[in-house]
A and B are shown apart, each in its own frame.
Chain A
Amino acid sequence: MGLLTNLYNKVAKFFRQQEGAAEDEASKSVATSRLKLVLMQDRTNLTPKILEQMRGELVDLLSKYLEMDKDLLELNFEQEGDQVALMLSIPVIRAKDEDEIEEALSVQRNSEDESVETDDLSDEEEKEEEYIESIDSEDDSEGIGEETEESSSEIDENESNLVSEVNEGKKSKKSSKKNNEEYIESIDT
C-alpha cells in the first residue's frame, strides 16, 4: 500500500512540475519587461513618474484623432550612435471622423479657457495631486483618453480634471525637455 501511495505521489509530482513550467513563463517575460523599462530610464534620465505622465499625455493627444488600443501602447527609447530616438507603437482601431475630432478639440478649447479664468495658485496644487492619482490607476474611469469619447453633458463634471491635466502637461513638457538636454550634454562630454 505504501509503495502505491509513493508511486502515486511521484506521478502527481511529475505532472505538477509540468504545470509549474508553464507558470514560470512569466519569470522570463517579467525580467524582459522590467529591463526594458529600466533601460528606457537609463537611456534618457527620465524618472518613471515622468515617463508615465508622458505616456498619459500622448494617449490623451492621440485619442482626439484616433480610436486605439491604449493597453497595447508601447513606448521605447532606442539608442543609435549618440542619438536617442523615441519609438511609439500603438494599434489603431479606427480613425475618428471629423465631427468627433471637432468635438474633442472643442472640449480642449473650453478647458483651456476655463483654466485661464480659474487660474488660482492654491487650487492648482490640489489639482496636481488629482492628476497624478488619475494616471497612477490605469482603470480609472476618469482616465485621460476616455474623456474625449464621453457625451458632452458629462464633460462639465470632468472639466476641472482636464484643466489640471493641461496645466500639468505644460510643466512636464518643460521638465522632460530639460532632462533630455542634460542627457545630451552628458553624452557630449
Chain B
Amino acid sequence: MTGRVIVITSGKGGVGKTTTSANIGTALAKEGYKVVLIDTDLGLRNLDLLLGLENRIVYTIVDVIEERCKLKQALVKDKKNPNLSLLAAAQTRDKSAVNAEQLKEICEKLKEKNDFVLVDCPAGIEQGFQNAVAGASEAIVVTTPEMSAIRDADRIIGLLNTKEEITSTRLLLNRVRPNLIKNNEMMSVDDVVGILEIPLIGIIPEDTGIITSTNKGEPIVNDENSLAGQAYRNVAKRILGEEVPFLDLDEPKGFMAKIKDVFAKLKAKV
C-alpha cells in the first residue's frame, strides 16, 4: 500500500491548521481509512490536546529520529478510532532537532502502511515549514478571510509552487462568518479564491462548538449536529475524490431581516 502524504499549512499562526489536521484525520479514519497524523510543530505541540491524547504520549518524533524507539512504538492510537494514530512532536526540543531528510524518511515509512499521512505544519516559512513539506505530495493551505492570513497564504502558495514533489495545492477557508459577508464586512469566499487562485477544498464556518470540542479533546467532526463538523466531513470526502457541493452558509432569514429588506427596497425607490 502506498498512502498519500498531505501537508496542512498556512503561513500565519492561529488560523486553524491543527484543528483542521485533527478533524480531517478523524473524518478520514471514520470513513474507514488508516490515517497517521504527524505533529511537526516541535516545541509547541498541540495536536495531542485537540485529539485528547496528551496523557498517552510516551515517545515523540525526535525519539524516533534519534533512535530511542521504533517508529511503531511512537504511534499513539486514537481513543475512539483504531484507524487513527498520532506521531507527536517533542515539546522540549526546537525545530533544529529534525531535518527535512529525516522527516521525509518517516513519511516514506508511514505511507507504506497507511492510506493517509497528514502532516501538521508549524506557522512560518522557516525550517519547520521546509521539514513538514519535505515528504508531502499534496498540500492544503488553511486561511481565514482576513488580510494578514491571506497575504501569508499567498506567500506559502508561492513557496509550495517551487516544490516539484507537491502536485496539488488546495485551499481551505476557515472561520467564515456568513453574516459578516452578507453585510460586506468580510471578504467573501469568491473574493479570497479570486485573489489566491488555487482550487477550493473546503469552507468551514466559524463555530463556537470548536472551543468546546477543543476543551473536551474531541474533534468536532464527531458531533453530527455541528455545521463545522459537517464541513470538515465534506472536506474528507473531497480528498477521497467525491464531488460534494459546498455548504450553503446563508442562514434562513429571520422576520426582522425580511422587514429590513422591505424598508431598504422602499428607500432605494425613493
Contacts and interface: CB of A to CB of B under 8 A. Distances in A.
A28 B154 contact: no
A35 B267 CA distance: 33
Interface in A72-87: 78-79, 81-82
Interface stretch (A36-44, A63-71, A149-157): A36-44
A67 B263 CA distance: 43
B2 interface: no
B147 A31 contact: yes
A28 B184 contact: yes
A31 B154 CA distance: 15
Interface size range of chain B in the complex = 20 to 34
Interface string A120-150: 0000000000000000000000000000000
A28 B177 CA distance: 13
B170 interface: no
Given A18-B264, A43-B158, A79-B157, A35 B151 contact: yes
Contacts of A99: none
Contact of A42 (B154, B162, B260): B154
Contacts of A31: 147, 187
B66 interface: no
Contact of A28 (B162, B186, B260, B263): B186
A27 interface: yes
A82 B183 CA distance: 37
B184 A35 contact: no
Contact of B158 (A14, A25, A28, A79): A79
Contacts of A36: 195
Interface string A10-32: 00001100100100110111011
A18 B195 contact: no
B126 interface: no
B162 A25 contact: no
Nearest to A30: B147
A29 B185 CA distance: 9
B161 interface: yes
A24 B188 CA distance: 14
A39 B154 contact: yes
Contact of A79 (B151, B161, B187, B191): B161
B191 A28 contact: yes
Given A35-B151, A43-B154, A187 B187 contact: no
A86 to B, nearest CB: 15
Contacts of B139: none
Nearest to A78: B197
B117 interface: no
B255 to A, nearest CB: 14
B199 to A, nearest CB: 13
